[in-house]
Amino acid sequence: MSQTTMVRPAGGTASDKIDPAAVLAASRPNLRRRLTNQITLGVVILAVVMTAVPLVSVIWASVERGSARLDVALFTNSMRGVVGQGGGLLHALMGTLLVTGATALIAIPLGLSAAIYLTEYGGTSKLAGLTRRAVDIMVSIPSIVAGLAAYALFSLLFGPGTRSGLAGAAALAMIMIPVVVRSSEEVLRLVPADLREAGLALGAPRWRVIRRIVLPTALPGLTSGAVLGVARIIGETAPLLLVAGFTDAMNYNLAEGRMATLPVFIYTQWSSKGLDTAAYDQRAWAGALVLMAVVVVLQLGARALPTQIAKIRRNR
Amino acid sequence: MKLTTGSKTAALIAAAALTLSALTGCAQNEEPADPGTDNTSSQTETSLSGELNGAGASSQSAAQEAWRGGFASAEPGVTVNYDPVGSGSGREQFAAGGLGFVGSDAPFKPEEAQGGQGSCAAGSPLVEIPVYISPIVVAFNLDGVEALNLAPTTIADIFTGKITNWNDPVIAADNAGTQLPDVKISPVHRSDQSGTTGNFTDYLAATAPSAWTFGETEEWPLDGGEGAEKTQGMVEALTAGQGSIGYVDAGQARALSWASIKVGAAWVAPSAEGAAKAVAESQLESGRGPGDVVYELNRTTTADGAYPLILVSYLAACEKYEDANLSGMVSAYFKYVTSEEGQQAAAANAGSAPLTSEVGLAAKVSAAVERIGS
Amino acid sequence: MGPTSASAVGTPRAPLSERVFAGSMRGAAGGVALILAGVLTFLAVRGGPAMFAQEGELPAHATNFLQLAGPAAFGSLWVAVIALVVASLPAIGVALAATIYAPSPKFGRFLAAVLDLLAAVPSVVFGLWGLMILAPLMVPIYGWLHRNLGWLPFFSGEPSVTGRTVLTAGLVVGVMILPIMAAMCRESFALTPPALMEAAVALGATRWEMVRYAVLPTARSGIVAGGMLALGRALGETMAVAMVLSWTPYLVSVNLVSSGNPVTIAAFIASTFPESTGSQVGALIGLGLVLFGISLLVSIAGRRIARQGVTR
């Protein structure tokens, strides 16, 4: 094959792999090479299509089956007292925002602080090594296991079968903390050491250097990391089903009582229906559309934020 | 590029503002009713207020939805929650003291019902009443066949894999005049633990003991076959699968074909009246307290029109609570649930059988409800 | 590096504010480690005894814990591997399309947005989609596979009439992990030294040859690490599998087209949890520990491979 004549056996550094003489000799690709090139192009296009088809199908299904309920009532009503048709998902949307907010309030300060310790203080200390290893392990906690752990903790503290928004937030925080630590650590490492040293050389204490120089420099990256962490957990269903429970009424209290969330709302609308099944299906798919929209807004935000922050800075 | 990010941010801000404005207020349907209308209504009793938490069987959830909806207009001050976590989790939470009432597909054991439940005042026995009676239909999906007669042994043989084709002579013998196609039978069972499976297997164990040797079990006891998650998973499987057969709560099986089962010598199609009748034909379980209305379902009844393949789901509460307000709320809620109005509401939303259609049954149940807080 | 060498500047008598700040940062780092220790302790205390539980204390009529955990562990790995096989080629292809093959940077960004959107679909929605849309579509395909390739163990046995097989579950999970793997591949393709690619093109290599000999070799460890990350995520996927898969406990089978399928640990927990009490919940938590162990091994393997790539 022409390809084998072109290249030496693999090994050594990557730049060694291309033999200039061989490539020159074959500078006009023969039919076989051109054909291979075309076929692989086809495969790449096929891959794009294979990715797009399920996405289009999911969105199409949600729009087709859920758009009938994308009305104002969906966003201004809960399900309390609703029988069959009507009702809305305000309680679930509120619950998702509260639980996700509480998760972010636990995970972002804790994760960011740990990342600051790892990059700015810990270095090679024993504790830093321990924390890094813990983060590596936490990354691979399956979400349902996080739910079980939160269940075990809260049933120990408040009796078996306790359900609350806070328990849901605790489960989700276990998933989000390692994401925040990793992304923050990566971003903080990118802050040039010169900046820190300049600050320290002026006699500023370390914490002021971090607060005034390191964090502001890293801010765009830190925010987008945090937002992506939130996007990662906002669609989680299984742990919330286990520990946050389900209600059809508004609940603003994270610490007490069951709290509905959008993924659980979608699941229960699908799984427990009345006779008028269409009404429940429509609410489920409309809920899916709303949840996807929330995540997309978050992701767009994560993308736009760094440039926006930079722009605001420049203008100042 | 600058423009696009700018407009993106603008869109973001707009979306955030919209969401916030929607969230600042309470849900529209939860805003307290106009006090003026309250006075005009015929509320002469001391009106109750507070939150009443229940949880348990998911089979009741559509009925609970109807009851809560109706109760909300009768007692606007009370918020009733029902979390369909499953009977087992519900009973465990009730025992631990976290609930006002519990819904369960299986009754408490007699010794559990005598006292010691964490949610009750010390020494208080339980009040248990059947509130949700629903026929379980043997539903199937077979092109060209809309109704079938299936005897209990035939059903058992189908689900154990002894009968594998729809044109089997055993099925044909009971369905003279029906053109049975040469299609493989795909039996579908619930893969999650469920009261529906428990009642279905209990029925088979009682009516076809030689063909069904696995007894009553809430977890499907056989390997193989098609498993489906929750009632809706079963419905989806039966809707999609040509030649499939399964067992579903009647309210959720409206779009499927139903089989009639053999009761005595007659073929009986599933119906709400037949289900209520089968309960009325059953005896109360012995060794239980006066408030503990638990039926030993008579699956082998031969009464005319009775349909004994049913699911009976119970509500359980305490006779006495520490908290008088809680006691009042439970009592009022249970009264509503067992009233003609409540039972009809459940029938309309969940397709269940109103227990009020059987006079003797209704009398026993309301006597038990009267014990709450008395 | 920079920050660590600079820490030597820290004077022996740091001001109080500095000590408070440094202390709280150290506390947070220790806190993260403590949280993990807490999680492991809770799981072990609640789930540990289940590993020695007797018949009657376990869900699904199991006689011992291993009888439950073994087949379910197989099922988890089986679904995850199918998902990985399904997702690998499209993930690499899309990542190539978004970087090397992209006609313009705008197209690359567009593809990245498409992948983000796909990652934004929550698993419960994929569950609905798999159950209602994908599974019925697969029925004729499974029938065809069984008729024509039935002599292979993968396609023997009665084909499912509902399409809710382990292959359908694998396809759904594959779609779900595709964006994760594609993102990792995209990152490592973008790291290919431009000089290397330019050299290949200058020497007359076709685009594929450039990819084959310049891009893929440098990105290999990134691709493998991405695959391992995706595999870990697939192992933990719960709701979509629970809703789509028709499963039977204790079953170990490689059949892809029939309705008798093994269960995954995560789906088993989600299905069984609601009706479980006492020691049964303990058994489910024990199963959760087993799943955690498996995904930990996968992630360790992934990290080892990624590190090899860096040192080389």
Answer whether residue B36 shows pLDDT above 70. Answer: no
Average pLDDT over residues A3-13: 42
pLDDT of residue A4: 40
Taking contacts as CB-CB distances below 8 angstroms, the residues of chain A near B53 are: 257-258
B182 Ramachandran zone, left/alpha/beta (phi>0; psi -120 to 50)? beta
E runs forming strands in B217-331: 226-228, 244-249, 257-263, 266-268, 283-284, 295-296, 310-318
CB contact under 8 A, C9 and A192: no
Best residue of B31, B81, B254 to probe chain A, by most A CBs closer than 10 Å? B81
| Residues comprising chain A, all counted | 316
Supply the DSSP string of C5-49, one letter for each residue.
HHGGG--SS--HHHHHHHHHHHHHHHHHHHHHHHHHHHHHHHHGG
Q: Could you give the CA distance from residue B71 to residue B308 in angstroms, rounded to a whole number?
A: 30
Q: Is A146 on the interface with C (CB under 8 A)?
A: yes
Q: Which residue has the higher pLDDT, A3 or C258?
A: C258
Q: Which region among B179-183, B267-271, C63-67 has the lowest average model confidence (pLDDT)? A: C63-67
pLDDT of residue A5: 41
pLDDT of residue C272: 87
| Location of structure tokens 């978050």 | A298
User: B57: helix, coil or strand?
Assistant: coil
Q: Is A277 on the interface with B (CB under 8 A)?
A: yes
> Per CB distance under 8 Å, which residues of B are interface residues toward C?
58, 85-89, 91-92, 184, 186, 188, 191-194, 217-219, 221, 223-229, 233, 236-237, 240-244
Identify which of C39, C122, C273 has the shortest CB distance to residue A263. Answer: C122
pLDDT of residue A56: 92
Answer whether residue A314 shows pLDDT above 60. Answer: yes
Taking contacts as CB-CB distances below 8 angstroms, the residues of chain C near A112 are: 28
Q: Which region among A161-165, A238-242, A312-316, C112-116 has the lowest average model confidence (pLDDT)? A: A312-316
Answer whether residue A18 shows pLDDT above 50. Answer: yes
- Model confidence band, residue B4 (pLDDT cutoffs 50, 70, 90): very low
Give the tens place of pLDDT for each residue, C185-196: 988 888 888 888
Helices (H), chain C: 2-6, 16-47, 65-98, 105-120, 123-129, 135-149, 166-190, 194-202, 207-210, 216-236, 239-244, 265-272, 279-311
pLDDT of residue A173: 94
Q: Could you give the CA distance from residue B158 to residue B176 in angstroms, rounded to a whole number?
A: 19
Average pLDDT over residues C127-133: 92
Burial track A227-264 (b if 16+ CB lie within 10 A, e otherwise): bbbbbbbbbbbbbbbbbbbbbbbbbeebeebbbbbbbb
Give the tens place of pLDDT for each residue, B287-338: 888 888 898 888 988 888 899 999 999 999 999 998 888 999 999 999 999 9
Residue A206 contacts residue A120 (beta carbons within 8 Å): yes
Answer whether residue A61 shows pLDDT above 50. Answer: yes
Answer whether residue A62 shows pLDDT above 50. Answer: yes
- A124 CB burial (10 A radius; 0-12, 13-18, 19+): exposed
CB contact under 8 A, A301 and B26: no
Residue B186 contacts residue B241 (beta carbons within 8 Å): yes
pLDDT of residue B333: 94
Average pLDDT over residues C105-132: 88
Average pLDDT over residues B270-279: 90
pLDDT of residue C12: 57
pLDDT of residue C8: 45
Q: What is the pTM of this model?
A: 0.88
Share the mean pLDDT of chain C: 85
- Model confidence band, residue B361 (pLDDT cutoffs 50, 70, 90): confident
pLDDT of residue B10: 52
Answer whether residue C7 shows pLDDT above 70. Answer: no
Q: Which region among A73-82, B64-73, B221-230, C54-63 has the lowest average model confidence (pLDDT)? A: C54-63
- Which CA distances in Å does B80 have to A223, B67, B347? 41, 9, 19
Answer whether residue C79 shows pLDDT above 90. Answer: yes
Shortest alpha-carbon distance between residue B242 and chain C (Å): 6
CB contact under 8 A, C30 and A119: no
Q: Is A270 on the interface with B (CB under 8 A)?
A: yes
CB contact under 8 A, B12 and A159: no
CA atoms within 13 Å, Cβ hemisphere of B333:
36
For chains B and C, CB pairs below 8 A equal 99
Q: Is residue C194 part of a domain?
A: yes
Widest pairwise Cα distance in chain B: 81
Taking contacts as CB-CB distances below 8 angstroms, the residues of chain C near A24 are: 203-204
Q: Is A240 on the interface with B (CB under 8 A)?
A: no
Which candidate, B84, C117, B87, places its Cα nearest to that of A269? B84
Q: What is the CATH number of the domain that holds C190?
A: 1.10.3720.10
Best residue of C46, C123, C203, C279 to probe chain A, by most A CBs closer than 10 Å? C203
Q: Is residue C254 part of a domain?
A: yes
Q: Which region among A208-212, B306-310, B340-344, C292-296 has the lowest average model confidence (pLDDT)? A: A208-212
pLDDT of residue C309: 59
Q: What is the distance of C-alpha A73 from the center of its chain?
A: 29
With the CA atoms of A261, A267, A270 and A273 taken in that order, what torsion angle do they form, in degrees rounded to the nearest 10? Answer: -60
Neighbours of chain C (3+ CB pairs under 8 A): A, B
Give the tens place of pLDDT for each residue, A193-235: 888 888 888 888 888 888 888 888 888 888 888 888 888 899 8
| Beta carbons within 8 Å of A282's beta carbon, 6+ residues apart | A65, A66, A68, A69
Residue B153 contacts residue B261 (beta carbons within 8 Å): no
Phi, psi (5° rounding) for residue B235?
-60, -45
Phi, psi (5° rounding) for residue A82?
-90, 130
Shortest alpha-carbon distance between residue A72 and chain B (Å): 10
Taking contacts as CB-CB distances below 8 angstroms, the residues of chain A near C289 are: 145
Q: Is A212 on the interface with C (CB under 8 A)?
A: no
Taking contacts as CB-CB distances below 8 angstroms, the residues of chain C near B229 are: 242-243, 271
Answer whether residue B39 shows pLDDT above 70. Answer: no
Average pLDDT over residues B29-56: 62
CB contact under 8 A, B66 and A274: yes
Answer whether residue B213 shows pLDDT above 80. Answer: yes
Q: Could you give the CA distance from residue C121 to residue A288 in angstroms, rounded to a whole number?
A: 8
Answer whether residue C1 shows pLDDT above 90. Answer: no
Instruction: Assign a CATH topology to domain A69-315.
Output: MetI-like fold (1.10.3720)
Share the mean pLDDT of chain A: 85
Q: Is C55 on the interface with B (CB under 8 A)?
A: no
Identify which of B62, B73, B79 has the shortest CB distance to residue A272. Answer: B62
Average pLDDT over residues B202-223: 90
Q: Is C59 on the interface with B (CB under 8 A)?
A: yes
Which candidate, C267, C241, C262, places its Cα nearest to that of C251? C262
Total tally of structural domains belonging to chain C: 1
Residue B188 bridge partners (DSSP): B226
pLDDT of residue A77: 86
Q: Which residue has the higher pLDDT, A306 or C207?
A: C207
pLDDT of residue B42: 42
Q: Is A120 on the interface with C (CB under 8 A)?
A: yes
Sign of CA dihedral C50, C51, C54, C60: positive
Q: Could you give the CA distance from residue C30 to residue A301 in angstroms, rounded to a whole number?
A: 31
Sign of CA dihedral B179, B181, B185, B188: negative
Q: Which amino acid is at B284?
A: L
User: B130: helix, coil or strand?
Assistant: strand
Which candidate, A226, A224, A307, places its Cα nearest to that of B5? A307
Residue of B nearest to A277 (CA): B252
Answer whether residue A148 shows pLDDT above 50. Answer: yes
Q: Which residue has the higher pLDDT, A160 or C179?
A: C179
CB contact under 8 A, B66 and A94: no
- Model confidence band, residue C113 (pLDDT cutoffs 50, 70, 90): confident
pLDDT of residue A25: 58
pLDDT of residue C3: 45
CB contact under 8 A, A274 and B27: no
Domain boundaries, position C144: 48-311
Which candidate, A265, A268, A263, places its Cα nearest to that of A295? A263
Residue C285 contacts residue A148 (beta carbons within 8 Å): yes
Give the tens place of pLDDT for each residue, B245-257: 999 998 888 889 9
Taking contacts as CB-CB distances below 8 angstroms, the residues of chain C near A26 are: 204
- Boundaries of every domain in chain B: 29-134+284-300+311-369, 135-275
Answer whether residue C284 shows pLDDT above 80. Answer: yes
Average pLDDT over residues C76-86: 93
Answer whether residue A167 shows pLDDT above 90. Answer: yes
Average pLDDT over residues B132-152: 92
Shortest alpha-carbon distance between residue A220 and chain C (Å): 19
Q: Which CATH number fits domain B29-134+284-300+311-369: 3.60.20.40, 3.40.50.720, 3.40.190.10, 3.10.129.10?
A: 3.40.190.10
Answer whether residue A103 shows pLDDT above 70. Answer: yes
ipTM of the complex: 0.86
For chains A and C, CB pairs below 8 A equal 314
Residue of A nearest to C128 (CA): A270
Class of domain B135-275: alpha beta
> What percent of chain A stands above pLDDT 70?
91
Q: Could you give the CA distance from residue C167 to residue C174 in angstroms, rounded to a whole number?
A: 10
CB contact under 8 A, A142 and C42: no
Residue of B nearest to C268 (CA): B192
Q: Which amino acid is at B292?
A: D
Answer whether residue B3 shows pLDDT above 50. Answer: no
